[in-house]
Structure 1
C-alpha cells in the first residue's frame, strides 16, 4: 500500500483499483492526444465514442453475452431503476413480483407499489433480513411481468448463491454491489442494473445490461428519459452522458480482463471473504456475523461486537490503523467491511490482524 493511502472499506462510493486511478491521473489533462480532459471533450467526438463503445463491449465480454444484449449507461442511480423497471414493464393486470431481501429490495418494491403494479413473491424481513429466500419460498404469479431480486444486500451482508428459476417469467436483478464480481449465467437475466459506485467506478452512472428484445418497446405514455428504448436506440447518447464516469467504468472493465476475468476475480474474492469470516467464526462470539452462513455476501461482511461502546472503539482504532469505512449502515448499526473487487487480499489481512489484536486487548 502506498504511504499516503488507506485501506478503504467504504460500501460506496468505494475503493477503486489503484492502477486505474493512476491511469486516469496520467490522462487527466490530455486524453488521447486531444489536448483536453475526457471531461472537456464532446460526447460526440471520436475519442469519446471509442471509450463509450469499448466499455460496452468489455462488459459484455466479461459477462459472456452476445449481440442479443445491450449495455446502457443511465443516470439517476439504482434508485431511478426502482421506478423505471415497473414503469416500463409492469401493469395493474400484470404486476412485477418482488423478493424482499433487504433495504434496497424493499425500496424497489415500494416504487412498484406506488404505481399499483407490484406484489411480494417472498420476504426475509421477519428474519431481520439475515437470509436470502430459497427457491421453494418464491411465490411467483403465473401472470407476473417479471421477478425482481436484489442480488447482494449491502446493508445486511447477504447475497444470492443461486439464480432463481422463474419458469419463463423475465428475471430482473439489482446487482449494484456485486456486479462483475463472479461468473454467472447472465443469459438467464432479462435485465440487470447496477449503480457503479460500489464495485465498478465513481458515482454518477448506472449500468443496465438487458436483452434487446425485452427493452425495445417501452410504453409511449411515460417520459422520454424514463424509457429504456430511448437509451438503446440512441446508444445512451440521447443527451450528454456522464462521460468521465463511463470512462472510469471502461477502465475498471479493462482492469478486470487483465486480472483474468470473472473466474479469477471470483477466486480472489472468495479467499478474501473466507479470511474475514474465519476470524468472525473463530472469535468465540466476540464478533457475531449478521447473515446466515448460506447467505453470506462475498462483498459486504456485516458483524457486531458485544457492546456499542466496543464498536465505537473498534471503528476509531481501526481508522488509526488506516482501516477506514468500517462503520455499519446508520439504519442497523454495527460494523461492515466492504471487500469489493478492488480491495486487495493484503487489505483484508491487515483488517483481520487488527480484529484479532482488538479482541485480545478487549476481552
Structure 2
C-alpha cells in the first residue's frame, strides 16, 4: 500500500520537485539526485509512520535537505550556498517553476531531440526506456542525448527562466512538442496500463499555462484544444477491467461534454485567427470526431480534407497512416491498404495494428492475424497488447 502511494506521488510530483530544486540550486543533476534520494527515503520511512499529510511537500523538503548536505561536503560550498540563497528568494509572481524548466530545456543551444528528451525526463519523470519508446529511438541513444543536454546546459550557463517576449516564438515549437509528447505518453502509455492520468493532467496544465503566457499564439490554443478533446474521450476508452475500447465501439454518452465544449471553443478561436498549424489542424480533426453523435455519423470526408491540409504543413509517415484510416472509412479497406503498404514505419506498433484491421476488413484473415501479432510484440502497453492478441485469436482457424 505504502509503495503504491510512493509510486503515485512520484508520478504526480517528480517534475514539480525537480523544477523547485533546479530553481533553488541551479544544478539539474543535483536536483535529480536529491529528489531520487528523497523518494528512496520515503520508501524506507513511510511504511512505519505512514505517508505524511503533504507527501509532495515532504519530498521537496527532504530533497532540499539532501541537496544542502551534499553541497556542504563540496569544496565550493560557500559559493554554492551564496548562489542558492540568491535563487531561492524568487518573487511571488514569478511563473511556475516547471514552465521555466521547460524553456531551459528547450534552449536553442540544444538540439531539438535533446530538448524533447530532457524535458520529458525532468518534467514528466519518465524513465529512459519510456522516453526511448515514445521517441522511437534506441535506449542507449536516448541516454546519451540526455547526458549531453545536461552537460550543455551546465557548461554553457543556460539560464533558468522564461525567455523574453521577443525570444518566445523561436522557442515555442520545441516547447509544444514536449508538452504534446508528455500528453501522448499519458494518453497511450508506452508500458503498463493504457492511460496515465497524471501525465495527461500535467500536459494539459502546462498547456493552459502556456496559453496564459502566449494568449495570441494560435498553435498554443490548438495544442490545448487537441489535448482537451482527446482527454474528453478518456472515460470511454477503457472497460471495467481496464481493457482497451477502440473509438468506433466507445459509449459516447460517457465522453466529457464540458471538456468537448471547451475544446470546440478553442478550435473556433483558431479558425477565426486563420493561421493554421499542425496542432490546430489535429484539434479540428478531433473536433469532427467529438461532434459526431455516433461512429457511423462521422464526417470522414471532412477528416480526409483536414489530413490533406496537415500533410501540407507537417508531412510525415504517421500522418499518412492516419489519413489512410480515414480514406478506408470512405472508400473501403482496400483503398486504405494501398496507402498503408510501404510506409516506413516497421517498428511502430500502430502501423501494424492499422494494417491488421484493414486486412481483416478486406477478408485477408491469415495476414491480419500475423499483423495483429506483430503489433502486439512491438508494444509494452498491457491493454493494447491484450486487445491486439484478442483480435488475433479471434481470427485463428478452429481446432479440428
Aligning the two structures, in what range does the TM-score lie when normalised by the shorter sequence? under 0.3
Higher helix proportion (structure 1 or 2): 2
Which structure would you say has the larger RCO, counting Cα contacts within 8 Å and 6 or more residues apart?
Answer: 1
Higher strand proportion (structure 1 or 2): 1
TM-score by length of 1: 0.26
Please identify the structure whose Cα radius of gyration is greater.
2
